Amino acid sequence: MKLKSILLTGSAGFIGASVAKHFLKKGHKVIGIDNINNYYDINLKKDRLKDIEKLISSKDNWKFYNFSIENKDKLYDLVKKNKPNIILHLAAQAGVRYSLTNPSEYIQSNLVGFGNILEACKKFNIEHLVYASSSSVYGGNKALPYKEEHNADHPLSVYAATKRSNELMAHTYSHIYKLPTTGLRFFTVYGPWGRPDMAPIIFTKSIVNNKPIKVFNKGNMLRDFTYIDDIVESIFRCCLKPAELNIKFDNYNPSPDSSFSPFKIFNIGNGVPVKLIDFIEIIEESLGKKAIKIFEPMQIGDVQSTSADTNKLFEWIEFKPKTDLKKGIDHFINWYKKYYKIST
């Protein structure tokens, strides 16, 4: 396998830092970008970067730059200087609920920032752009499991709308400039080094500290929880296999996940949806402690259920997520106790 140079945005993030470590272990060069904003604890982001630095055998293989991708000039200078083969774009303003009250931040980061990434790819002849989309793009669609060919044009949050917009923007550049682009629709990622604004850490922290947890829709929400290592392996394989045009594409019955241009979209999920209340029980078992539950109605912007069909992903990269939820939660809880210095 020929070693590659990867420009990785969002490299201090949960998925980004995990992917960086994987590429570095395989001998590839990684150029990381992150603005280390205060959406959540910046110390966690800095500690992820320190964890990456423990792995590097040569400083030539890992470089990190602290700035926002909305800064077009800095981005262009960096791409020109480092000459990456692949851009892996994971930087984004995340969070469905936060987008309800702060939509402008999503427009700047997820639309303007992504536009700058696309322009950089065009300007500097990048071999392949891989970018993070989200299962939230399926929005009002209730047909389960979600398949890439399903309609995804009825988003229920600004966050989801920006992610779907990214897919459409990517297709335009794939068509006009023949830029291979691959969009990855992630399904509820969890595991060590996870985001503190997401359910696993929120629930675990509250249970450990004898605080109540809010359980929406009486715990009957279904989520396709996907372990971080499975996400990372899927991303790694997708990066090294550039999107191709679909020679069987039907212009009279077009599917949203492929094209007459070098464009692909894939679901990355475990394919085993779990009730939120059952997810909480697994955390309780791993901690050996019961949660204090407060049941709340479903929130605006949330979807009732998510479930990924990953057959197309497997056909493309011969891999699909498979980590058992209990095993994944045990790994997460072990990391949580160690990182936050929780005595057992």
Q: Are strands 128-134 and 226-227 parallel, antiparallel or unpaired?
A: unpaired
What is the spatial distance between Cα 145 and Cα 137, in angstroms, rounded to a whole number? 14
SS3 28: coil
The pair phi, psi for residue 6, each rounded to 5°, is: -115, 125
Contact call for residues 251 and 172 (beta carbons, < 8 A): no
Tally of CA atoms within 13 A in the half-sphere of 211 that contains its CB = 10
What is the spatial distance between Cα 75 and Cα 69, in angstroms, rounded to a whole number? 6
Contact call for residues 35 and 115 (beta carbons, < 8 A): no
Cα separations in angstroms, 187 against 143, 213, 214, 305:
16, 22, 21, 11
What is the spatial distance between Cα 325 and Cα 317, in angstroms, rounded to a whole number? 22
Nearest to 91 by CA among 192, 191, 163: 163
The catalytic residue among 106, 138, 159, 190 is 159
Contact call for residues 203 and 287 (beta carbons, < 8 A): no
SS3 182: strand
Contact call for residues 188 and 306 (beta carbons, < 8 A): yes
What is the spatial distance between Cα 258 and Cα 262, in angstroms, rounded to a whole number? 8
140, 143, 149, 155 alpha-carbon torsion, rounded to 10°: 10
- 65 counts as catalytic: no
Helix (H) and strand (E) counts in the chain:
12, 13
Q: Among all residues, which ones are annotated catalytic? A: 159
